[in-house]
Amino acid sequence: MAVDNMLDVNEMLFDKFEPRLKNRFILEIDGIPSFLIKGAARPNITIDEIEMPHINITKYSAGKISYAAMDITLYDPLSPAGAGIVMEWIRKHHEAETGRSGYGAMYQKDIDIIELGPVGDKVGA
């Protein structure tokens, strides 16, 4: 009796695995040069569950999504001054001297995390 779906030995070997490493990424934030970013935590989300009891069963559905704070560490060289860039960003949100607060479109920024492969190519999603 011949077996047609035998696995090849090369398919069973574990040679195609490449782990994601903490130091292989580029973080891009609008208005902040990437070379100023020293480190960043990975983004974390929490999805609450909604319990729906009905007669003698309970069903669950996805609820609200909460985004955790994401810590980012910047270098502060003389030029461009990292602290100055961050302070301008804060002033777009709220100006302490005048008490003026900005619109969300003024201070909200897009953040892109680009993962890199072992040779520096962009990978992952």
Break the chain into its structural domains and give their ranges.
22-43+70-123
Instruction: Give the phi and the psi of residue 16 in degrees, each rounded to 5.
Output: -100, 5
Alpha-helix runs per DSSP H in 28-123:
82-93, 104-107
Has residue 46 got a pLDDT over 80?
yes
Over residues 91-96, mean pLDDT = 85
The one-letter code for the residue type at 46 is T
User: Given pLDDT bands bounded at 50, 70 and 90, which one contains residue 125?
Assistant: low
Give the H/E segment covering residue 12.
Answer: helix 9-12
**pTM of the shown model:** 0.61
The answer to whether 45 and 68 are in contact (CB under 8 A) is yes
pLDDT band (50, 70, 90) for residue 120: confident
Give the pLDDT confidence score for residue 2 in this predicted structure.
56
